């Protein structure tokens, strides 16, 4: 049995990882109440006690807009956390799989971002996650994979799909930005990719993971509405496209953050087009008529 610790186990990704534990793996999930990543001594003591072969870090401060005014909290979880995890992983000889974000990029490209493209985050969240990546790289002796993803959703937790389904019932019309393009990523794809990278002993380095294809938030919202209406028969509010300039938010976001997954898929096989896992999540969330 390979022992694996999943940190941040109470979040969208953490829950999914623990639902999909591969055969031959004994996984211990630690949510924030069981292990605060910002507590260096606790991180080290926990890993020394469990002696895992690998650590998957699914914990993070993910409130992109709030991070603009809570930068200390964002850096504690997203930069100090991975620093402590990397040090503990090196100390006990565990492999570290750390999850990062497409928001490390500024979005000025118009073709998918490669893992070694220049980073230039636009906001505090992206900057704190980039600091986490750097902290992992700076740790001597750590065997680490950094897996960047974006636009994550699942049937549980806080995400765009669940928010859209709620507001499409509450409002006569829903306005969604059409000039930010990325790729929706189900936690199913992300969790499977992480377990596969670990199981196939992928070389250390930086990887990209999302579902296949690309979409604007407007396209994503339209697909949610279409799939939800088709499945449940319920009439939902129509979606209107708007520009980012018409929907000011505290944090700036990249206009384009599609990730190139060639290197990841060479190891894991290709992910499905983003509509497929979206359909599965909608069918879980909504009863059929
Ligand atoms: N969600 C997205 O769209 C998205 C996009 C790109 C990348 N990612 C990355 O994907 C990974 C998983 O994200 P997710 O969507 O599963 O996020 P999530 O649902 O917000 O889960 C993150 C979990 O981390 C926990 N956490 C926060 N601070 C912590 C700390 N100091 N110590 C231990 N746990 C802590 C949170 O606990 P509390 O709830 O108690 O705070 C939460 O349970 C993260 O690395 C995130 O940066 C996510």
Ligand 1 atom nearest residue 59's Cα: 24
Give a yes or no: residue 227 inside a domain: no
Give the residue-averaged pLDDT of 204-208: 98
pLDDT tens track for 46-99: 999 999 999 999 999 999 999 999 999 999 999 999 999 999 999 999 999 999
Give a yes or no: residue 180 inside a domain: no
Residue 52's pLDDT is what? Answer: 98
Give a yes or no: residue 55 inside a domain: yes
Residue range(s) defining the domain that contains residue 133: 2-153+185-211+254-272
Give a yes or no: residue 217 inside a domain: no
Give a yes or no: residue 122 inside a domain: yes
CATH number at residue 121: 3.40.50.720
Pairing of strands 215-216, 181-182: antiparallel
**Which residue among 9, 30, 58, 104 has the greatest number of ligand 1 atoms within 8 angstroms of its CB, and so is best to mutate?**
58
For residue 23, how far is the Cα from the chain centroid? 24
Residue 287's pLDDT is what? Answer: 77
Dihedral of CA 167/126/63/94: which sign?
positive
Phi, psi angles (nearest 5°) of residue 259: -105, 140
Q: What is the largest CA-CA distance in the chain?
A: 57
Give the residue-averaged pLDDT of 226-252: 95
Tokens describing residue 236? 């939902």
Q: How many domains does the chain have?
A: 1
The verdict on whether 125 is a catalytic residue reads: yes
Pocket of ligand 1 (CB under 6 A): 8, 10-13, 31-32, 36-38, 58-62, 77, 81, 99, 101-102, 129, 149-152, 157
Residue 289's pLDDT is what? Answer: 73
Determine the distance separating the centroid of ligand 1 and the alpha carbon of 10, expressed in angstroms: 8
Give a yes or no: residue 231 inside a domain: no
Residue nearest to atom 8 of ligand 1 (CA): 101
Give a yes or no: residue 70 inside a domain: yes
The DSSP H or E segment spanning 46 is helix 40-50
Q: Which one is catalytic: 75, 125, 207, 256? A: 125
HSE-CB of 273 using CA atoms within 13 angstroms = 7
Residue 124's pLDDT is what? Answer: 98
Question: Is it the case that residue 277 has pLDDT exceeding 80?
Answer: yes
Residue 106's pLDDT is what? Answer: 97
Give a yes or no: residue 12 inside a domain: yes
């Amino acid at each position: 049995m390979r022992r694996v610790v999943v940190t941040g186990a109470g979040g969208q990704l953490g829950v999914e990882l623990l639902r999909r534990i591969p055969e031959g793996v004994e996984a211990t999930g630690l949510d924030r109440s069981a292990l605060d990543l910002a507590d260096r001594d606790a991180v080290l003591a926990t890993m020394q006690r469990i002696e895992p072969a690998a650590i998957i870090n699914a914990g993070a401060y993910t409130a992109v807009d709030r991070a603009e005014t809570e930068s200390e909290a964002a850096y504690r979880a997203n930069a100090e956390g991975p620093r402590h995890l990397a040090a503990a992983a090196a100390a006990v000889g565990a492999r570290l799989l750390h999850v990062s974000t497409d928001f490390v990029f500024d979005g000025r490209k118009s073709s998918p971002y490669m893992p070694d493209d220049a980073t230039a985050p636009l906001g505090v969240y992206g900057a704190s996650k980039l600091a986490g990546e750097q902290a992992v790289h700076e740790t001597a002796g750590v065997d680490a994979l950094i897996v960047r993803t974006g636009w994550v959703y699942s049937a549980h937790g806080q995400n765009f799909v669940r928010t859209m389904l709620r507001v499409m019932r509450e409002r006569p019309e829903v306005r969604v930005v059409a000039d930010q393009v990325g790729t929706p990523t189900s936690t199913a794809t992300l969790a499977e990719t992480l377990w596969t990278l670990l199981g196939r002993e992928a070389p250390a380095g930086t990887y990209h993971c999302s579902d296949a294809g690309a979409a604007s938030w407007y396209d994503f919202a339209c697909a949610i509405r279409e799939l939800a209406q088709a499945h449940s028969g319920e009439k939902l509010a129509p979606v209107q496209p708007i520009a980012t300039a018409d929907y000011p938010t505290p944090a700036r976001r990249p206009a384009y953050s599609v990730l190139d997954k060639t290197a990841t898929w060479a190891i894991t096989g290709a992910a499905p087009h983003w509509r497929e896992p979206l359909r599965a999540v909608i069918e879980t969330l909504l009863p059929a008529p």
